[in-house]
Copies of this chain bind each other. A is one copy, B any other.
Amino acid sequence: MTTKKASNASLPSERRARLVRLAGELFAEKGFRATTVREIADAAGILSGSLYHHFDSKESIGDEILSGFLDEVLTGYREAAAGTDDPRTTIEQFVRSSAATLARHRAALTMLQNDWSHFRAMPRFDYLRTATREIEHLWVDQLERGKQSGLFRPDLDARLTYRLLRDVLWIPTRWGQSSSNGWDTDQIADAVLRLIFDGIVARDSRPAGTSPADRQGRARPARS
């Protein structure tokens, strides 16, 4: 992954960083393919040809965004996995780490979902598969250990569950489109955690405070 980018990457000249950010916002909204370089240039107030002083192609902007995202996700996950032996704690850390990273990398997520078939066909983006495979392994490992320790239901299909959880995590990030939807990052992480740990069914015997999502009700009591 750690793709060390082209010659002109050496000077992360603020201008360049701004362009990546601008492009990212557009990619997040409409996807990579559906965003034209002209739209990016328009957003930056320059002509489309001028973009090529900063990047050698539209693809390399995508590359930068995707590799930056995956680097950060993996770093967060590795730390979470190394920090404790308790699967539940680790998974909770996965979720919180993801929620934070995703909020800053909405573009990468949209690209992964919308344009996967596009990137997958290109050798340049082989690292996408490498990285997603490592991520899957980290999750599945925790789920299996949770099953063995009796924490998780023994009938859980670890890979199926991982896929479900990963995508569940991604969901709220996509909602950012309609910016003012009323939920912030923490609320969403809580709701997701509560959902995946305990489901939506009420349960009187649930030990109070064990679930981090208990905060949900307090944080925004007026909602419901």
A-side interface residues toward B, CB under 8 Å?
29-31, 33-34, 88, 113-118, 143, 146-147, 150-158, 160-161, 163-165, 167-168, 171-172, 174-175, 177, 183, 187-188, 191-192, 194-203, 205, 213-214, 216-218, 220, 223-224
Contact = CB atoms under 8 A, between A and B. Distances in A.
Nearest to A218: B155
A64 to B, nearest CB: 21
A17 B77 CA distance: 47
B157 A224 contact: yes
Given A152-B201, A202-B153, A114 B31 contact: yes
A164 B201 contact: no
A11 to B, nearest CB: 14
A86 to B, nearest CB: 13
Contacts of A155: 213-214, 216-218, 224
Contact of A199 (B30, B196, B217): B196
Contacts of A214: 155
A218 B220 CA distance: 40
Contact of A153 (B33, B154, B200, B205): B200
A70 B1 CA distance: 40
A172 B198 CA distance: 20
B199 A154 contact: no
A113 to B, nearest CB: 7
B200 A196 contact: yes
A195 B196 contact: yes
Given A163-B172, A195-B199, A199-B199, 13 more contacts: A31-B31, A31-B33, A153-B200, A153-B202, A153-B217, A155-B218, A156-B224, A161-B195, A164-B172, A165-B200, A167-B174, A195-B195, A198-B198
Q: A146, A155, A197: which has the most chain B beta carbons within 10 Å?
A: A155
Contact of A191 (B143, B161, B188): B161
Contacts of A194: 153, 199
B200 A201 contact: no
Given A31-B114, A33-B33, A114-B31, A201 B151 contact: yes
